A and B are shown apart, each in its own frame.
Chain A
Amino acid sequence: MDTAKAVSPTLEAAASIEAIKVEDLHKSFGTLEVLKGVSLTANKGDVVAIIGGSGSGKSTMLRCINFLETPSSGKITIGGELVEMHTDGSPSNRRQIERIRTRLAMVFQQFNLWTHRTLLENVIEVPVHVLKVPKAEAIARAHELLKRVGLGDKADTYPAYLSGGQQQRAAIARALAVDPSVMLFDEPTSALDPELVGEVLTVIRDLAAEGRTMLLVTHEMKFAREVANHVVYLFEGRIEEQGPPAEVFGNPKSERLKQFLSSVT
């Protein structure tokens, strides 16, 4: 990042440090407007925590970023590359979307591991078949990643035989296998029994410490405060307040955020 700092903040430099830029994102399901103009920038190395009540549009925003949902309007730029959209917000270039998606790794609340494949097979699936990495290389790397998330001895186990915490750690290994430029976490610990939350947070904390860029939707406020360098509070499809964690958590300005924080802690 030294180079980026040295250069005066021209547009070009901005593009080279911007990992994700969302501008005026709208999304409606039928007549229900879920996102009402959200703008958000994450620079490389940023950990952006997204908090907000249930139904405030957190998942929808994350899903719009890799086009699992089709935005109704807005602009999305990933790593300096503007995603081509039709005027109705649908992606107009399927190949571009597929290429961009391989740089964004999503970790789901429900893990969504492929149940007919072992952990190792889950982790090598995308590198081998989508990214065309030689299989031997992908396998070696997958073993490393599984070891890293504490599942080195489970490579040949099927997901159904593992606890939720183990499955989520495997899902994180699968995400890391594509060497993503941004990781998108959608409430990665919400489906877990309380005693399993810690092991998953430890892995995510590790990734944050090594400078991974991530957007993290979470209900773990303590954790968000600790790992994030930027916090976004979403209320009914709008960003109600955002800023450094110390500000957002320590000195909230909006009444709604104050209420929200007191209700979750």
Chain B
Amino acid sequence: MDLKELYQEIILDHGKNPRNLRKTENFNKDAKGHNPLCGDNVHIYLKLNENKKVEDISFEGHGCAISMASASIMTDLVKGKEETEVKEIVNDFLDMIKEKEELQNKILNEDEKTKLMCLSGVKQYPMRVKCATLSWHTLTSAIDDFQKIVNTEN
């Protein structure tokens, strides 16, 4: 185990200065996520245009460096993607965090994949996996228009 792998520069940077930490005006989809174990909260706002492309995505909330960095990187990467692509990226990321070595999708370029792989360090820290996945589960429920609050315990 290596803490340096978990707390890389890029995670610390996104954790301290999260991108897209705001509220999208005229959002048309949103969802809230909550991690009852640690009290982390995230609210994701999504604006899909008529072609179902992500015109804007943002989030509000608070949490540890891992959860803030994860939401920050995620929002950066899915901006401009189509809804189906977003879903594929989300599933790919969640698979990678759970079990797979690598990301499989062909939507993100190598640079973007490298950024995402920075989060793979949490695999070594089972109690922290939820910190990394909360915003991703919340994005899924925003897209699927779930009215219920995502809860990492379920």
Asked if chains A and B come from one complex, the reply is no
Seen from chain B, the residues whose Cβ lies within 8 Å of a Cβ on chain A are: none
